[in-house]
Structure 1
């Protein structure tokens, strides 16, 4: 088993934030995640690492998690990424990113980490900038307000449930410039914390792909993969939800570090072929484009998808995490 601008503007934004006073039990599964997704996309567009929206998003997430009773802190770190110009010149750009970490202690020190990246796409070259990939107007609905919304609903619904193992909810900035947030988080973990991390669940881009996909890390033991990835597929079938698995990879820094990993994302058919409609409206090379990854566009071309996908993700993950946290 799994043995400012800031204070004045932020106050105004939090007034119109998602209310967490209502009982989660009285709300339809996925509705909290959808509300949070839409709120984050609407009020915090352009969440590029180190931007004002990045900092405001961190403040908002910390406020939400603290309100739920979690011990929540912000972690600021300085990093840089390479930017390629059309003239062939490459420059390094320095950013000060802000991640959020919230914790609820269980009966033992072993922990399960539930993670979603909070930053939206940062253009890496002049071509991406000219094609409006990322940027200040990008709502980042799929990538990754969807992961943040689902994470916040899970945090709310698990905030009062009994825990044997501890839970960590982590919103990492700097992921869209080369997994800098993951690298910073791992660099600050002690050997004991790494040893006590039973599982990392990474929530990323849950909307646009045709079905939810559960992927174990390449270094995740098969016994853990059966309890996590395979159990998620069993739960999906039980609830009549389309879900699949994919081949593992070690691209995620947590996987590369040897921590058990379950990645959750939306993907298309295992063959990699997109339907004609999806290929037309959501071409892979423009998946970060501000004109496409926004509420109006997704609601138009994928009507009902946000509601259905947030419902499906929480429906599967909530009982899975509850089982894992209480063996």
Structure 2
């Protein structure tokens, strides 16, 4: 697999940094069965997974570019996420020990639109003190704006309360770097593993839009969930912009 990672740096005064990440690849069919089921390929827009996440990351970069910060911010668009988090693995591999030590937090933006609710989840290894400053603070900012947001309730014992899974952030979590996953889904449904994004309906027969050419596109989402794309992206921005300014110590 050949992939490209795009990194933009907002330098801070101190060597510490925060990484904000979104994957730019969409799902590629792994078999004829995938192709027959309309999963992945060149016609997959990937609005939910993950054009919106990428758009929010770019908007954050745009809004922060002239804001001096104590800590640096790295904006990273990874590829190969759908093939097994390859872009994130590669990024981690290229980081020096000093860089890893100086990385205070990795924020991952993925699947922001189709899910019922916004979730902010920490890494399994993220220390409690960092969870309070990141996940809990994000939820408090959401509340102050009247935005419905929550965290994994921990109904599936494989996914402890308040933690996320199965995205680029996991790579950094396993390496002992603090993470914050931002996603929209419904951890109360299905296997309670965050995989089912919403109730099963005619518009979303399996309760999600994962990788489906017919479902994960702007036209279908606009028809099934009018106004959702703009509203959800705006909500994420209203939480993330003040949070990142706070964490990076903007002046």
1:49-106 Cα distance to aligned partner (Å, 9 max, x none): xxxxxxxxxxxxxxxxxxxxxxxxxxxxxxxxxxxxxxxxxxxxxx321110110110
Contact (CA 8 Å) 1:132, 1:290: kept in 2 or not?
Answer: yes
TM-score, normalised to structure 1, is 0.68
Q: Secondary structure at the match of 1:177?
A: coil
Matched, 1:292 2:198: no
1:154 corresponds to which residue? 60
Candidates 3, 17, 20, aligned match of 1:111? 17
Take 1:97 and 1:134, find their aligned partners in 2: how far apart are those partners?
A: 17
Candidates 169, 180, 185, aligned match of 1:267? 185
1:280 corresponds to which residue? 202
Take 2:21 and 2:201, find their aligned partners in 1: how far apart are those partners?
A: 29
Q: Secondary structure at the match of 1:219?
A: coil
Candidates 287, 296, 307, aligned match of 2:230? 307
1:202 corresponds to which residue? 108
Could you say if the C-alpha distance between residues 274 and 313 of structure 1 is closer, same or farther in structure 2, counting changes exceeding 3 Å? closer
1:152-301 to 2 correspondences below 5 Å: 152-246=58-152, 247=161, 248-249=163-164, 251=166, 252-268=170-186, 270-271=188-189, 272=192, 276=199, 278-282=200-204, 283-284=206-207, 287-301=210-224
Larger Rg: 1
Could you say if the C-alpha distance between residues 274 and 118 of structure 1 is closer, same or farther in structure 2, counting changes exceeding 3 Å? closer
CA positional deviation for 1:286: 5.3
The structure with the greater share of residues assigned to helix is 1
1:7-38 Cα distance to aligned partner (Å, 9 max, x none): xxxxxxxxxxxxxxxxxxxxxxxxxxxxxxxx
Segments ≥4 residues shifted beyond 3 Å = 271-276
TM-score, normalised to structure 2, is 0.88
Higher relative contact order (CA 8 A, sep 6+): 2
1:145-188 Cα distance to aligned partner (Å, 9 max, x none): 01000001100111111200000000000110011101110110
Take 2:148 and 2:135, find their aligned partners in 1: how far apart are those partners?
A: 14
1:5 corresponds to which residue? none
Take 1:269 and 1:288, find their aligned partners in 2: how far apart are those partners?
A: 19
Q: Secondary structure at the match of 1:299?
A: helix
1:83-140 Cα distance to aligned partner (Å, 9 max, x none): xxxxxxxxxxxx3211101101101000000000000011122211111111010000
Q: Secondary structure at the match of 1:175?
A: coil
Take 2:201 and 2:74, find their aligned partners in 1: how far apart are those partners?
A: 37
RMSD over equivalenced CA pairs, Å:
1.6
Could you say if the C-alpha distance between residues 274 and 153 of structure 1 is closer, same or farther in structure 2, counting changes exceeding 3 Å? closer
CA positional deviation for 1:242: 0.3
Take 1:285 and 1:265, find their aligned partners in 2: how far apart are those partners?
A: 13
1:82-93 to 2 correspondences below 5 Å: none
1:13 corresponds to which residue? none
Ranges in structure 2 where 5+ consecutive residues have no aligned partner: 153-160
Ranges in structure 1 where 5+ consecutive residues have no aligned partner: 1-94
Could you say if the C-alpha distance between residues 122 and 284 of structure 1 is closer, same or farther in structure 2, counting changes exceeding 3 Å? farther
